[in-house]
Structure 1
Amino acid sequence: MKTIITFGTYDVFHVGHLNLLQRAAALGDRLFVGVSTDELNFSKKQRYPIYNQNDRMKIINGLRYVNLCFEEESLDLKRHYIDLYKADVLVMGDDWKGKFDEFSDICEVVYLDRTPSVSTTQLIEVISSSDQ
């Protein structure tokens, strides 16, 4: 059984997230998804996600091709999560290309193309500007 693992925030869930998760799931038999905690997101971006981690995890858990969803508490724990879940393949969006190659000693690392013209940050900016 081939296990795929990926990580993300999945805030303001959109078709780009859906496309990436569907394509990741197609690479194996099981898809495990690490959802960044609110605290991790704040430490990375100095802002909290629009949706809290429980809501974001509920959305990801609701997808039929996701077998397991777990909290990603630290970027420094990626190797631990890959080992813990015995992942065969780490999948990330191509905006991270090369940044996770260090894990190629324990699993295959695949970078998938992002969906063109879709960005959570851009969506948040559009929504914010329409409120004014």
Structure 2
Amino acid sequence: MKTVITFGTFDVFHSGHVNILRRSREMGDRLVVGISSDQLNFSKKGRNPVYPLRSRMNILHAIRYVDQVFVEESLDLKREYIIEHQADILVMGDDWKGKFEEFKDICEVKYLPRTPSISTTEIIEVIKDIE
């Protein structure tokens, strides 16, 4: 059985998120998703997610491609998360290309192209402009 792992915030869930989850799941028999804690998201992006962790986790649990969801508390623990979940493949969006080569000693690392013209940050900015 081949396990795939990916990580993200998955805030303001959109079709780009569905695409990466579907394509990730197609690479293996099981998909494990690390979802950024609210605190981790703030430290990465300088803002809190629109949806709190519990809501984002509920959405991911409902997606048929996802077999397991856990909270990613720190970027520094990626290696431990990969080992703990016995992942064979780490999948990330190509906006992270080259950033996770250090894990090639414990799993395959693949970068998938992002869905064109869809960005959570852009969606949030459009919504803010409407107000």
Check whether TM > 0.5. yes
- Taking the aligned partners of 2:109 and 2:12, their CA distance within structure 1 comes to 26
- List 4+ stretches of structure 1 deviating above 4 A: none
1:77 equivalent to 2:77? Answer: yes
1:49 positional shift: 0.2
Tell whether 2:97 aligns with 1:119. no
Deviation at 1:15, TM superposition (A): 0.4
TM-score by length of 2: 0.99
Q: Counterparts of 1:17 and 1:74 in 2: how far apart (Å)?
A: 21
Paired with 1:54 and 1:37, the residues of 2 have a C-alpha distance of 9
Ranges in structure 2 where 5+ consecutive residues have no aligned partner: none
Give the superposition deviation at 1:72. Answer: 0.3
In structure 2, the residue matched to 1:31 is: 31
Normalising by structure 1, we get a TM-score of: 0.98
TM superposition shift of 1:44: 1.2
User: Counterpart of 1:12?
Assistant: 12
Shift of 1:59: 0.3
Residue 85 of structure 1: how far off its partner (Å): 0.3
Report the equivalent of 1:89. 89
C-alpha distance in 2 between matches for 1:22 and 1:80: 24
The C-alpha deviation readout for 1:49-76, integer Å capped at 9, x for no partner, is: 0000110011001111100000000000
Task: For residue 104 of structure 2, give the secondary structure of its aligned residue in structure 1.
Answer: helix
Take 2:67 and 2:102, find their aligned partners in 1: how far apart are those partners? Answer: 25
- Write out per-residue CA displacement over residues 86-113 of structure 1, whole angstroms, 9 at most, x where no aligned residue: 0000000000000001100000000001
Please tell me the root mean square deviation across aligned C-alpha atoms, in Å: 0.4
Indicate the percent of aligned positions where both proteins have the same amino acid. 64
Q: Which residue in 2 is equivalent to 1:130?
A: 130
**Matched residues in 1 for 2:67 and 2:85: separation?**
12
Alignment partner, residue 2 of structure 2: 2
